[in-house]
Amino acid sequence: MSKTNVDEKFLDKKITRRQMLKLTGVGVAGLAIGASGLGGVLSAFGEELFVDDDTTATNKVNFYGKHQSGIATAVQTNIYFAALNVLVNSKQELQELFKMWTPLAIRMMNGESISMEKQNDLIPPKDTGEAQGLDARNLSITFGVGLSLFEKQELGLASLKPAELKDLPHFPKDQLDEAYTGGDICIQACADDPQVAFHAVRNLVRAASGKVTIKWSQAGFNSFPVEKGKKQTPRNLFAFKDGTENPSGEKDMNEVVWVQPGESTSWMTSGTYLVVRRIQLHLETWDRTSLKEQEKTFGRHRESGAPLGKRNEFDGMEIERKDENGNYIVPENSHVFLAKQAKARIMRRSYSYSSGIIDSTGAYDAGLVFVSFQKDPEQFIKIQNALGRLDKLNEYITHRGSGVFACFPGVKKGSYIGEALFNTL
Amino acid sequence: MSKTNVDEKFLDKKITRRQMLKLTGVGVAGLAIGASGLGGVLSAFGEELFVDDDTTATNKVNFYGKHQSGIATAVQTNIYFAALNVLVNSKQELQELFKMWTPLAIRMMNGESISMEKQNDLIPPKDTGEAQGLDARNLSITFGVGLSLFEKQELGLASLKPAELKDLPHFPKDQLDEAYTGGDICIQACADDPQVAFHAVRNLVRAASGKVTIKWSQAGFNSFPVEKGKKQTPRNLFAFKDGTENPSGEKDMNEVVWVQPGESTSWMTSGTYLVVRRIQLHLETWDRTSLKEQEKTFGRHRESGAPLGKRNEFDGMEIERKDENGNYIVPENSHVFLAKQAKARIMRRSYSYSSGIIDSTGAYDAGLVFVSFQKDPEQFIKIQNALGRLDKLNEYITHRGSGVFACFPGVKKGSYIGEALFNTL
């Protein structure tokens, strides 16, 4: 993080671009304020230097903080995940892109239009407008950068590539489709509304017109049973609860998710790595399988979500339990048994998707937008390797898409998304 | 509707298949009760003859009534629309299919599992289970039949085809994709939850395994701004309010939507015709268009939804208004001006969709699952013809999919979906 010495009152004041021009006495053409000077953000698109979290906004997730939003944030009902390729030719242009995005992301997370300027109807609307009238709906926006970004010579980022950011190995039964794989940058927009999530990506991409293209994207959803006013663990399309064993609390998150000082390259401190997998669930095959087999496949009871042989969702898995014949109660080829062998933990933050029918087969194009966060993608790789060819779940799923992204640490007020990367020499 | 003379108490009593066998004294193999005799439903899948609307269920839309649900029902946040092809070889098998579906649809609209029988874990779960723990979420299920169904000689339905059920003509700028067009049967599942809507179609199709295949399907969503606790008209992905001018109230609905006695073939009385169009909205082009042009394209103001030159969404369109130079205030090539020339009305009940990226172009595969109901598809055709080549909106949209379906009247207790069709000689 850069040290900034900024008049806090100035930072707190929302100013229009017009006011700013008066203040600085320069014309639009001459507009340039060094990020190092103010530690600030000046966007050619947004009209303000700094935008605050609007803490009075309804259903608001905070933008500023030690970590990015959309990771420890309580999982929402909707995701729109986009993997972008960049068209910019220099590190500086890339830096400007993230600076430009910063106030836009904040505005949208405030439930506001991306621009507070009065709309001139002779030009295209600044905000595409479909989220107008909707509140923030707990929108979170998470930015990450992929391996391919560091491999672009013209960007000169090669020396900044974290050692942890590597292509995933080919796993048994992977059938990755290039149309759902990779990307230079990812934007994970999650909200309790599909239109708000889509709107966020659409407006960020539009504001970066000519600088990025969408390589692939996927919408997804979660449906939460509510008991006594409290959201319960959602079920995936195989009807099993997904996310029961996630880390929680600061200690857990620091152990599993947040990069600690010295654990990765310095600019990733307080950041994390995102793994996304577009996993087709073969619903037709699953639906022909007996309940017993289904439960033995996951290692849990379907209805309660409890470990096999136990009663309640949050009862301990205690994987070593055996029956009177000395056989494991949770089968050795079950998803959870094998995953436990990896001795690795991740934070799952997945959504379901249903995208119509696969034309050639008539099967549902439906499944899981699997998203996990971990301080090192190796944690995911370990688990996936432990599942290997043995995982009973393999019969019912195919991984069709994949991505690994280094997610920056959070943004301090007066800073911008990714500053740690750009400020590293 | 068939006349039935049924012991009301018997109808009201929920009985299990086992109890039923005792009552009737027959074995499973000999199980057959004529629909004409009991006017009843016996499903090989569901275990009950009749299922009631559970009027105590939370967020419940009624199944029984003069009209099917999902038409006059307040529009929900989510749709899963499926067009099916049938594999059955006789009218009787088709009739059995709709009988079998009836108690399943009711159960799901009650927010229940499709089966109340205790699950035997040695067989596949009767209900796929992903909606477990969620309430009814205002699920509505609307069934319709397409032209192709009446053209299947083996079904012997040719003489029952309503004259109104025809293929739509080719409209200017149509680029229909066979993968999103047609179907023998449609199921429109709408709910205030994407998983509940998907679950409904999945379980109906699964219960009809070997009898139907999904030809195409599309998920969609609506996001409702809420003002003073009241849902407002949702915006489409062009940010314009969609559905402002819908008919409302019984008189209006009888004029526009519900087939009145003598207006179509007799079995369609109290039914309606559904038109579905998968319309891609070219967001990238739209987003490069000035606000003024956008508003002139629709004929409405974007922010308020008001007719051009007016202030409020529900102000009268008064299409003949002219400015001081004698020019129409609402341009003659605007969407609404042209649509008004048709002198025809329809009930719009559309949803947005965002299904990733079109691989070949990198453009959003996003737009409108346009659904309209009308007592005659000719109403839709008239409007579409009036829009013709002139509609300014043509520049920004492409119709990619299409279907027309005759939606049965509603179901009376003791009857089943489509009985009017099957009871017509």
In this predicted structure, the answer to whether residue B10 has a pLDDT above a threshold of 90 is no
Q: What is the mean pLDDT of residues A20-32?
A: 36
- Nearest CA-CA partner of B70 in B226, B237, B197: B197
In this predicted structure, the answer to whether residue B44 has a pLDDT above a threshold of 90 is no
List the structure tokens of A346: 């991740």
At A344, the amino acid letter reads A
| Residues B399/B403/B406/B408 CA torsion (nearest 10 deg) | -100
Q: What is the mean pLDDT of residues A154-183?
A: 96
Kindly report the nearest CA distance between residue A83 and chain B, in angstroms: 11
Contact assessment for residue B215 and residue B178, using Cβ atoms and an 8 Å cutoff? no
CA separation, residue A287 to residues A243, A284, B125, B167 (Å): 22, 5, 7, 35
List the structure tokens of B303: 């922010």
Q: What percent of chain B has pLDDT over 70?
A: 88
In this predicted structure, the answer to whether residue B222 has a pLDDT above a threshold of 50 is yes
Chain A contacts in chain B segment 235-264 (CB below 8 A): 235-239
Kindly report the nearest CA distance between residue A249 and chain B, in angstroms: 26
Q: For residue range B352-402, what is the model confidence (pLDDT) as tens digits?
A: 999 999 977 889 999 999 999 999 999 999 999 999 999 999 999 999 999
Q: What is the mean pLDDT of chain B?
A: 89
Contact partners, residue A60, CB within 8 Å, separation at least 6: A53, A54, A109, A110, A111, A136, A138
At B283, the amino acid letter reads L
Kindly report the nearest CA distance between residue B305 and chain A, in angstroms: 12
User: Greater confidence, B176 or A248?
Assistant: B176
Structure confidence at residue A424 (pLDDT): 84
* Lowest pLDDT segment from A400-409, B85-94, B238-247: B238-247
| B121 in A contact zone (CB under 8 Å) | yes
Mutation to test the A interface, candidates B126, B292, B354, most A Cβ within 10 Å: B354
Structure confidence at residue B46 (pLDDT): 44
Contact assessment for residue B62 and residue B126, using Cβ atoms and an 8 Å cutoff? no
Rounded to whole angstroms, the Cα distance separating A99 from A40 reads 8
What are the residue ranges spanned by the domains of chain B? 1-50, 62-425
| A227 in B contact zone (CB under 8 Å) | yes
Kindly report the nearest CA distance between residue A34 and chain B, in angstroms: 30
Q: For residue range A76-132, what is the model confidence (pLDDT) as tens digits?
A: 999 999 999 999 999 999 999 999 999 999 999 999 999 988 889 999 999 999 999
Chain A contacts in chain B segment 318-347 (CB below 8 A): none
CA separation, residue A264 to residues A72, A143, A269, A272 (Å): 20, 18, 7, 10
A47 DSSP β-pair partners: none
| A202 in B contact zone (CB under 8 Å) | yes
Do B132 and A364 lie within an 8 Å CB cutoff? no
Which pTM value belongs to this model? 0.90
Mutation to test the B interface, candidates A137, A214, A354, most B Cβ within 10 Å: A354
Mutation to test the B interface, candidates A113, A122, A198, A284, most B Cβ within 10 Å: A198
Cα separation of the two ends of chain B = 12
Do B356 and A356 lie within an 8 Å CB cutoff? no
3-state class of A224 per DSSP? coil
Contact assessment for residue B413 and residue B50, using Cβ atoms and an 8 Å cutoff? yes
Instruction: Nearest chain B residue to A84 by CA: give it.
Output: B362
Nearest to B291 among A119, A132, A196 (CB): A119
Contact assessment for residue A242 and residue A156, using Cβ atoms and an 8 Å cutoff? no
Q: For residue range B300-359, what is the model confidence (pLDDT) as tens digits?
A: 999 999 999 999 999 999 999 999 999 999 999 999 999 999 999 999 999 999 999 997
Biggest distance spanned by C-alpha atoms of chain B: 84
In this predicted structure, the answer to whether residue A19 has a pLDDT above a threshold of 80 is no
Do B194 and A238 lie within an 8 Å CB cutoff? no
| A43: exposed, middle or buried (Cβ count in 10 Å: 0-12, 13-18, 19+) | buried
Nearest to A218 among B120, B291, B356 (CB): B356
Number of inter-chain CB pairs under 8 A, A vs B: 166
Q: What are the φ/ψ torsions at residue B328 (nearest 5 degrees)? A: -60, 135
